[in-house]
Amino acid sequence: MSTTMISDDLEGGRSDDIQLQRAHRQGRLWDMDQRIDQPLGVEADHVKSMYTNKAVTLGAIMHLAYQSLGVVYGDLGTSPLYVFKSTFANVAVTEKQDIIGALSLIIYTLTIIPLIKYVFIVLRANDNGEGGSFALYSLLCRYCNISLLPNQHPTDVELTTYLVDHANQKTYLQRKLEGSPSLQKVLLLIVLLGTCMVIGDGILTPSISVLSSVVGIRAASSSLDTTLVTVISLVILVILFSLQRYGTATVSVVFAPIFMSWFIVLALLGCYNIIKWDKSVFQAFSPHEIIRFFTRNGSVGWENLGGIVLCMTGTEALFADLGHFSFRSIQMAFTSLVYPCLILTYLGQAAYLVGHTENVNDPFYSSLPPPLYWPIFVLATVSAMIASQAIISATFSIVKQSVALGCFPRVKIVHTSNDIAGRVYIPEINWILMGLCLVITAGFRDTNEIGNAYGIAVVVVMIITTILMTLVMIIVWRKHVLLALLFFTVFMAIEVVYLSAVLFKITQGGWVPLAIAVVFGTIMYTWHYGTLKRYQYEMQHKVSVGWLLGLGPSLGLVRVPGIGLMYTDLAHGVPPLFSHFITNLPAIHSTVVFVCIKYLPVNTVPQEERFLIRRIGTRAHSMYRCAARYGYKDIQKKDDNFEQLLIHYLTKFIEIENFREQCDLQSMAASWTPEEESVRSMPTMNSPNSSRLQRALRSNGITRAENSVGNGHLSQSCTSLAEMPTNQSVDDNSQIQLSISGSNSDIQDEVAFLNSCKEAGVVYILGNNIVKARKDSGLFKKLIVNFIYTFLRRISRDSRVVLNIPHECLLQVGMVYYV
């Protein structure tokens, strides 16, 4: 009988008879399910801790600022090696004003985009210390119900890391986004595009940085040919990516003093060239020089923007690397050291080029003082080799966020710091980046073409950040719409102009980031699409809890000793995996816990608030639902001892539940009067206290309704209470006092039973699902689901590895999901 009912519910036939059966079952069980199968909510046990930002000393901020020099600013710091060269590539410079105009563009670009936009504005939109496009997206998802994976619940906002203000105040833009699935998909695609472009930066930056340094070696030694330069570059790249496994902290210790020296040298070199060659370059601070530059050069000046854009490469890493350091430390390092040194070095190069326009293809090395040439040459070479560390670290961070939010296949994530959770290393991504870097370096062998590709990736990421920041200003910060539009208009206008210039060079290497975006975008969207379809299938085919508990405490099965942890994506409801399991093997453990691993749009969830537990049915059923909640920078590590923590909080839940029952019964006993003996004045069966009251009454022999299920909400229980004669009613409050005195022994028995189940063994029941498109699906959907998504699942990390499930305790159940 049970098999027939489950199969009818799962097959979902389209005949009229089956539809009538469904309607009949729904009519009997729907009301009950709505009461019994509630999401994890107010009846669940969760302990709310105080989440406070600890005061950070000035010394700690300065130490982090120093460390950030070796990780965050390498790309920005080495851009003076090739900005003027890329700007005037294939263009003969004959006039001094062209140099001054280009310098003016560089100064204002560095001031408006990295300094004003990112350091003063964008960094403030961090998600509890995390940065990047997905951090902005997670902020929007918390304030606006736009997440396409509907596994959230209102109780999630009670997390101390949620930090949502104006939760009940909806703006017009919020309502528009929440009511439009199309806009939600477009927003997700924009975020995915930004992520793909950051990955593209992580591929292109090491190539152009290393090639620039090796080309400098060739300039100093004419004996090196192009082939040898390429080989040296490839070797350096392999060494660079091999160092990533040691983590950001170790890398920053090694790289920070190098870049500290590098920025000081840049400033001193700039001052030297200004004093020696031409002090008139300060007129570049006048914006009129920009107007004169475009008036004089026309379309050629517009093409020159494709090289000038390289002066702000690595700017997005300021934001994406935020989780590795802190907002204040990055702000301090940039404003006090990086920005002034960059401005001085560009002024110095321009001062030298004013009188030496013939050296426009190599202004940095040509302007070096002869006695200091080789020391600075060595420092510049080493700095350029390690400059890509910023974007590599940023790539790790943003991929970690993508994995947690269900937008990237499962990969191995290694924490490299015990103090800063944002410092991670992803081996698979590291080796993929290395392989693609080697291919691009060997294929192009020229910094100009790689620079063209690089410029497109940089500008597209900035445009996406501007779009997301505009939404954050309106929805999260609640700024006036006009202020948000001013932000959008100013920065979007500048970035679109730069984008038009770099797109002009799409045939000269600019196609590379677009190809990278297509490949990684397809991977990310396919993974998200498959994950969403799998979740929807489980929601549509979940088993009725009312029917399941109606089978009795044993569920009509053999209850074997032990605890069964059944993993599911559902935050409420019984997954089809359970029905499939008991259909083929009519036995289940004495205690069953449905575990849902939820990644919420927050950066972290405190351990005290991680587990959200609720009972399913009565104590006799010994079934629970648990949501283990994580943020996108949290990782389940083997030393977390998940099993012990879960059982600990399960015991705590039983104790708190019993304590609440005692409090309710004591308050009822204190206020009990003879007039309240009538059934009419009793709590309704829909009230939160009804289940506790009914269990207390039932335990004292007042009613013996064995068909009562799921916290006593069945109509039969209501009938037995309503028909109870007066002489069987509670005599004053003696029965309730008796229930209170006996509850302590009940909780001890239940905790002892739970411990005995634990001693018998814990088994992890995990679904080994195959997702396939339905036979009536279109060709494109079959291609996406049956081939691409299936292939990605095969090559991604297995769920048991991600969840750190002991192999000897694993029980996998195979199913096919037709979506």
Concatenated DSSP letters of 116-144: IIIITTGGGG-BTTB-SHHHHHHHHHHHS
Looking at residue 709, what is its pLDDT? 31
Cα separation, 351 vs 279, whole angstroms: 7
Looking at residue 421, what is its pLDDT? 60
How far from 773 is each of 206, 569, 592, 819, CA to CA, in Å?
40, 19, 31, 5
* R_g over Cα of the chain: 32
Looking at residue 553, what is its pLDDT? 74
Enter the tokens of residue 188. Answer: 């997700």
Cα separation, 257 vs 342, whole angstroms: 17
Looking at residue 489, what is its pLDDT? 96
Enter the tokens of residue 92. Answer: 């003969």
Report pTM.
0.74
Main-chain dihedrals φ then ψ at residue 230, nearest 5 degrees: -65, -45
Looking at residue 324, what is its pLDDT? 74
Helix/strand number for the chain, H first, E second: 32, 8
Main-chain dihedrals φ then ψ at residue 147, nearest 5 degrees: -70, 130
Enter the tokens of residue 22. Answer: 């469904």
Enter the tokens of residue 570. Answer: 């559902």
Find the angle CA(485)-CA(486)-CA(491) to the nearest 5 degrees: 100
Give the residue ranges of the chain where pLDDT is below 70. 1-56, 148-168, 215-224, 226, 248-249, 417-422, 446-448, 601, 603, 632-633, 635-640, 664-744
Looking at residue 200, what is its pLDDT? 85
Record: fold of 64-531: Amino acid/polyamine transporter I (1.20.1740)
DSSP letter for 770, please. E
Where do the domains of the chain lie? Answer: 64-531, 543-661+753-818
Structural contact between residues 457 and 245, judged by C-beta atoms closer than 8 angstroms: no
Structural contact between residues 453 and 511, judged by C-beta atoms closer than 8 angstroms: yes
How far from 305 is each of 292, 496, 497, 512, CA to CA, in Å?
15, 11, 8, 19
Q: Which residue has the tokens 């940089």?
A: 458
SS3 811: strand
Enter the tokens of residue 33. Answer: 């399910």
Structural contact between residues 481 and 474, judged by C-beta atoms closer than 8 angstroms: yes
Cα separation, 428 vs 643, whole angstroms: 28
Cα separation, 7 vs 544, whole angstroms: 12
Cα separation, 366 vs 74, whole angstroms: 22
Enter the tokens of residue 231. Answer: 């080989």
Structural contact between residues 349 and 364, judged by C-beta atoms closer than 8 angstroms: yes
Q: Strand 424-425 relative to strand 414-415: parallel, antiparallel, unpaired?
A: antiparallel
Task: Give residue 698's identity as a one-letter amino acid code.
Answer: R
Looking at residue 166, what is its pLDDT? 56
735-749 in b/e burial notation, b at 16+ Cβ within 10 A?
A: bbeebbeebeebbee
Q: Strand 587-599 relative to strand 558-568: parallel, antiparallel, unpaired?
A: parallel
What residues form DSSP beta bridges with 818?
772
* Of 593, 595, 621, nearest in space to 691 by CA: 621
Structural contact between residues 505 and 306, judged by C-beta atoms closer than 8 angstroms: yes
Q: Which residue has the tokens 């596994």?
A: 151
Instruction: Please count the CA atoms within 13 angstroms of the CA of 86 that sit on its side-chain side.
Output: 30
Count of CB atoms within 10 A of residue 473's CB?
21
Cα separation, 474 vs 171, whole angstroms: 8
Looking at residue 772, what is its pLDDT? 92
Task: Give residue 622's identity as a one-letter amino acid code.
Answer: S
Label residue 364 exposed, middle or buried (CB < 10 Å: 0-12, 13-18, 19+): buried
Q: Where are the alpha helices (DSSP H) in 325-480?
A: 327-333, 339-355, 363-366, 373-386, 389-404, 427-444, 447-475
pLDDT, tens digit (0-9, with 9 covering 90-100), for 321-369: 887 788 889 999 999 999 999 999 999 999 999 988 888 888 888 889 9
Cα torsion for 141, 145, 148, 152, to the nearest 10°?
A: 90
Enter the tokens of residue 553. Answer: 């405490």
Angle 690-699/642-670 helices, nearest 10 degrees? Answer: 80
Main-chain dihedrals φ then ψ at residue 266, nearest 5 degrees: -60, -45
SS3 701: coil
Cα separation, 227 vs 233, whole angstroms: 10
Residue 420 backbone class (left: φ over 0; alpha: ψ -120 to 50; beta: rest)? beta
DSSP letter for 396, please. H
Looking at residue 283, what is its pLDDT? 93
Consecutive H or E run containing 540: helix 511-540
Cα separation, 90 vs 94, whole angstroms: 13
Looking at residue 23, what is its pLDDT? 45
Cα separation, 538 vs 150, whole angstroms: 12
SS3 592: strand
DSSP letter for 79, please. G
Consecutive H or E run containing 814: strand 810-818
What residues form DSSP beta bridges with 813?
767
Instruction: Please count the CA atoms within 13 angstroms of the CA of 1 that sit on its side-chain side.
Output: 6
